[in-house]
Structure 1
Amino acid sequence: MNSFETDLRRAVLSVRFLAAVVLQLGILLYEGEASQLYKISVPLACTLPYAGGWLDEYKSGYARLALVRGSMRGYILGKFLACTIAGGGAEALAAWAYGALRAADMPYARTFLTAALWAAAAAVLAALSDSKYIAYGGAFVICYFLVIACERYWPWLYCLHPHEWLELSHAWPFEGAGVQALLSGLILDLGLLYYIILKGRLERG
């Protein structure tokens, strides 16, 4: 089993993944998909499954052992992909369950990518700060800043408003596909940044 498969199993088959799904499904059932509580909970819940996965291995010394058995590129990419897939998957699964229970039309692809983006941001913050608390809370802070900035100062820059990615209240090129392209590009950028940070840290020991 390669590094990515191992990481993905750890991320998805975990209590934290289940907790994220249950938390978001509960919020959706009680508050609904249009509620502010749901929108602000996305950048928090999606970080639970695996945003701090690398930190646990780094601090325990397991990261060095893993590098002996595999490539650095595979190790880093496995961590990043598992984090984004688990974070996005937890949100998408909760949205799917809510849609099935309430016959609601949920934007599953955009939900997955939005959560994957925040999980990616949390992973980068974890790599920079050595703190899971900053990782878990940092994505929420960035999201909140963007919401305030776009609503008060940059209303014309709606493409960077996190809530817009979920509710699509403005005209977008190619509609939902335009949002998905933007989110995918941002995730790739964060993936490159994550790789550069972790590669430097692992090379320094």
Structure 2
Amino acid sequence: EIPYVFASGLIFTIIFYPMMGFTSFVTGVLYWINVSLFVLMQTYLGQLFVYALPTVEVAAIVGVLINAIFLLFAGFNPPAGSIPDGYMWLYRITPHRYSLSILISLLFGDCPNEPTYDEATQTYLNVGPQIGCQPLENTPLSIGHTTVKGYIEQVFNMKHDDIWSNFGYVFIFIAIFRVLSLLALRYINHQKR
């Protein structure tokens, strides 16, 4: 399934990425790799449930439940900064969080030179062409003046500097799901004799 996942991810990226107005080739390649790894991770998680649980129906129900919990604690809705302290452990072990963080950081968190806000003119100076460098307008007073990158880092805790460590976590989760699938396939038997 690895060549199939990367080929289908490439087709999706070729169609979707420029359709959204993104143009950077390097970011597009990283976007493709991230989407493909996320699909691969979801595939291996599904295989784990199928191998570990007695029927496909039970595996589907558990898969929906686990994915709903993972998507709830991925750090987007609710934002990572709003997740209560008692649930932060769940936020940290959610594999979807790392793929989502890579995606958001690649597309909206790239700003090599932060623009500065001039209080006298009430405008930003040295605004770069990247989406992350653009000033965020009509923000609530509690947030103040910020850029798209600053908002993403402050509210969602998705930092562009963490992209490579997040890729590492995605690979670790893929390896964990593969090992657990192998152990389930080897040691769990639901046949009745």
* TM-score after normalising by structure 1: 0.46
Give the structure with the larger helix fraction. Answer: 1
Larger-Rg structure: 2
